[in-house]
């Protein structure tokens, strides 16, 4: 959950864990009867991949640029 919330944000990791757990259960409740099961892992993987693509530093992480 640290990747989703941000590597330097403890609150972001906690919030991301809660949101991902809720999304996982809701999606499996709606999609399992339609697709036959196994959607929990698919939802988690899709959310993590989309987060890394859109915001590589996480939802609440800082994007610091250091010039040396």
Q: Domain range spanning residue 35? A: 2-54
Chain segment 22-32, per-residue pLDDT in tens: 998 998 888 88
Chain segment 36-65, per-residue pLDDT in tens: 878 888 888 888 888 888 887 777 777 666
Using alpha carbons, select from 28, 7, 4 the residue that is nearest to residue 16.
Answer: 4
Q: Is residue 63 part of a domain?
A: no
Look up residue 58 and give its DSSP letter.
Answer: -
Q: Is residue 32 part of a domain?
A: yes
What is the rounded average pLDDT of the residues 10-38?
A: 86
- CB within 8 Å of 52: residues ≥ 6 apart: 3
How much is the pTM?
Answer: 0.72
Q: Is residue 12 part of a domain?
A: yes
Joined tokens for residue 34 = 């339609």
């Amino acid at each position: 959950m640290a990747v989703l919330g941000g590597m330097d944000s403890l609150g972001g990791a906690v919030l991301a864990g809660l949101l991902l757990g809720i999304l996982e259960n809701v999606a499996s409740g709606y999609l399992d009867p339609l697709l036959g099961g196994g959607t929990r892992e698919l939802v988690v993987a899709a959310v993590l991949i989309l987060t890394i693509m859109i915001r590589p530093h996480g939802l609440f992480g800082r994007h610091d640029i250091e010039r040396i």
